[in-house]
Amino acid sequence: MTDKTLKGKIVLVTGAAGGVGREVIKKLASQGAKIVATDIAENVHQLADQFNEAELVTVVGDVSKSADVEKIFEKAESSFGAVQALISNAGYMIGKALHETSEEEWDAVLAGNAKSFFLTARRVLPNMLKAGKGSITATGSISSVVGLPSQAAYCASKGAVLQLVRQLAVEYAGQGIRVNAVGPGAINTPFLTRYLNSLPDPEAGAAAVKAAHPMKRWAEPDEVADALVFLASDEAAFVTGHILMVDGGYVAG
């Protein structure tokens, strides 16, 4: 029986130090993938100790900057070879309405979400085209498909991610490259906590966010990681251009 997991595959994960990123690394390690974990935060290096039996290298870098992206891919290629699966999980959020959003804040959110995906996908594609196969998986959001209050820049950036996923899927399907996204609702991570703390009333905001999900809870990081790893693997071999919602029924409501 053909192994459809990511065993032996070279997988690059951005945003690896966060709650979802760590769960992705855990699942990849359990499957025997060759992992390149990168994050803007220095604590990404802790993953090497946490998963010391895995084939894993860590790199600190800002994937919204092309020079850092090149450094990350050079580390991946010198350690394992050409990246075969990209999981673009880096993200940044500011909770503000448009009239409250500065130009600098707008640029930061678009860079952290949309530009980072553009730069990493652009860098990984030539080797995937040469190999005639590969998978690119992005972390989108419910904000990719619906408008939400106090998330002007975030909705714009995650909408851009989804549209680029769809465009890339159509562009490269004939070359054996699949491109998909996961669309989480609220996830129980420090990322969510930072967002809630940016609101005028964090406690009321938390209650409202949870109540907006038909399942009346937030996602756990491992539930989102399951979807990312599934789409990146050959278990999803005939899936491309798709956003898999992991949102407790949010967009269906």
Q: Is residue 3 part of a domain?
A: no
Lowest mean pLDDT among 3-17, 69-83, 186-200: 186-200
Q: Is residue 193 part of a domain?
A: no
Mean pLDDT, the chain, whole residue set: 96
Model confidence pLDDT, tens digit, residues 106-162: 999 999 999 999 999 999 999 999 999 999 999 999 999 999 988 999 999 999 999
The pLDDT of residue 13: 99
The pLDDT of residue 199: 79
Confidence of residue 95 (pLDDT cuts 50, 70, 90): confident
The pLDDT of residue 198: 79
- Domain of residue 103, CATH code: 3.40.50.720
Confidence of residue 192 (pLDDT cuts 50, 70, 90): confident
The pLDDT of residue 194: 84
How far does CA 142 lie from the centroid of its chain? 13
Helices (H), 14-131: 19-31, 46-50, 66-79, 103-110, 116-131
Q: Is residue 72 part of a domain?
A: yes
* Average pLDDT over every residue of 245-251: 97
Q: Is residue 204 part of a domain?
A: no
Total tally of structural domains belonging to the chain = 1
The pLDDT of residue 190: 86
Q: How far apart are CA 249 and CA 110, in angstroms?
A: 26
Q: Is residue 213 part of a domain?
A: no
The pLDDT of residue 195: 79
Q: Is residue 236 part of a domain?
A: yes
- Edge-to-edge, what's the strand order for the sheet holding 177-184? 55-60, 34-39, 10-14, 85-88, 134-139, 177-184, 243-246
For residue 1, is pLDDT > 80?
no
The residues assigned a catalytic role are 154
Can you give the residue range of the structural domain that contains 129?
Answer: 10-187+222-246
Q: Is residue 127 part of a domain?
A: yes
- Confirm if 96 and 109 have CB atoms less than 8 A apart: no
For residue 102, is pLDDT > 60?
yes
Q: Is residue 160 part of a domain?
A: yes
